[in-house]
Amino acid sequence: MLKALGTFLSNLQKSLGSSIKIMILSKPQFSIKPRKREKAFIILGTGPSFQETLKHDQSALANNDLIGLNHFAEKEEFVKLKPKYYIVGAPEMWDESLNEYYTSKGLAFFNALNENTQWPLELFLANDAKKSSRLKIIENNKNITIHFYNNTPIEGLDFFSHQLFHLKLGMPRPHNVMIPSIMIGIWLGYKKIVLTGADHSWHELLRIDSQNKVELDQKHYFDKKENWRTMKYAGKRDRKMHEVFEKWMLAFRGYVDINEYAKKKKVKIYNASYKSYIDAFERKPLTEL
């Protein structure tokens, strides 16, 4: 009894905190409109296992609606698959206050997106990207339609959180681009959402150096060599080990929260990744979907 009361009070406090964040950060969202969708919404994750998806599931990819993520536009598969949607979830892609490394990465992405997009594409960016001068790079590309979404983190009582999700005012903490991708699929009205390339196997490639810096070799399907980098907080200071695992915990918990919301919306989410540590969604190969 006391435990249940404590949980309720804790969730109530989180709901109140989420309300304050929404009032400060969120904007009314009208451009992302749901409608009846016959096809599946396939999220093109860039984990190493996406290589297997490219080898074995070309038919499914060709016959459904795809959404590309983050740096995918810089790769040849972007032009081959021609996704209908695209989302950028990493703030360092548009944040102009970061160091030279992140600046060059962000500029490279927007230039590639502008050059490679020769078909109609709906691009989703978080609200705080609105003021970035990097959007000028793509403003004359008539193929790209930009939507802004609320990535405000929402936690607390389920009935309260789900109503805010429904109003598109926020989402579970977006510590991984998969979270806003799934939410956008739901907001667009898709009833079948499928994850690919969602390995989430970061912990297999984590180490700490002699200076106690936490390093990660974040593998993607296109990587040819090791790329160890110090884990950063918001692209600025170094992360401590407990912060790294907390970030990952919030991502995995976010999937559980999304799945509960999806059930109420009668949306089915499948994980078709050839390798994945996500346990929130039913596993099923693309060939069966």
Could you give the CA distance from residue 199 to residue 182 in angstroms, rounded to a whole number?
A: 16
Return the exposure string of 173-192: e unless at least 16 CB atoms fall within 10 Å of the residue's CB, then b. Answer: bbbbbbbbbbbbbbbbebbb
Burial class (CB in 10 A: 0-12, 13-18, 19+), 226: exposed
pLDDT on residue 184: 98
pLDDT on residue 240: 94
State the average pLDDT for the chain.
Answer: 93
pLDDT on residue 7: 77
- 241-264 helix and 158-166 helix, angle to the nearest 10 degrees: 80
* Nearest alpha-carbon partner for 247 in 169, 153, 124: 153
Q: Tokens representing 59?
A: 């038919």
pLDDT on residue 225: 87
pLDDT of residue 199 exceeding 80: yes
User: Mean pLDDT lowest for which of 140-149, 163-172, 174-183, 224-233?
Assistant: 224-233
Could you give the CA distance from residue 165 to residue 18 in angstroms, rounded to a whole number?
A: 12
Structure confidence at residue 13 as a pLDDT band (50, 70, 90)? confident
Whether 212 is in a domain gets the answer no
Whether 120 is in a domain gets the answer yes
CA atoms within 13 A on the CB side of 33: 3
Could you give the CA distance from residue 6 to residue 8 in angstroms, rounded to a whole number?
A: 5
Whether 263 is in a domain gets the answer yes
Evaluate whether 166 touches 264 at the Cβ level (below 8 Å): no
Could you give the CA distance from residue 245 to residue 73 in angstroms, rounded to a whole number?
A: 29
Whether 136 is in a domain gets the answer yes
Whether 100 is in a domain gets the answer yes
Q: Residue 85: phi, psi to the nearest 5?
A: -125, 160
**pLDDT (mean) for 94-116:** 93
Percent of the chain with pLDDT over 90: 77
Whether 283 is in a domain gets the answer yes
Evaluate whether 53 touches 64 at the Cβ level (below 8 Å): no
pLDDT of residue 11 exceeding 80: no
Using one digit for the tens of pLDDT, what is the confidence trace for 18-46? 889 889 988 988 889 899 999 999 999 99
Whether 191 is in a domain gets the answer yes
Using one digit for the tens of pLDDT, what is the confidence trace for 60-81? 999 999 999 999 999 999 999 9
pLDDT on residue 9: 74
Structure confidence at residue 98 as a pLDDT band (50, 70, 90)? confident
* Structural domain count of the chain: 1
Could you give the CA distance from residue 165 to residue 161 in angstroms, rounded to a whole number?
A: 6
Q: Residue 164: phi, psi to the nearest 5?
A: -70, -35
Whether 30 is in a domain gets the answer no
pLDDT on residue 137: 97
The range of the structural domain enclosing residue 166 comes to: 37-199+251-288
User: Mean pLDDT lowest for which of 193-207, 217-231, 259-273?
Assistant: 217-231
**pLDDT (mean) for 242-252:** 93
**pLDDT (mean) for 207-216:** 93
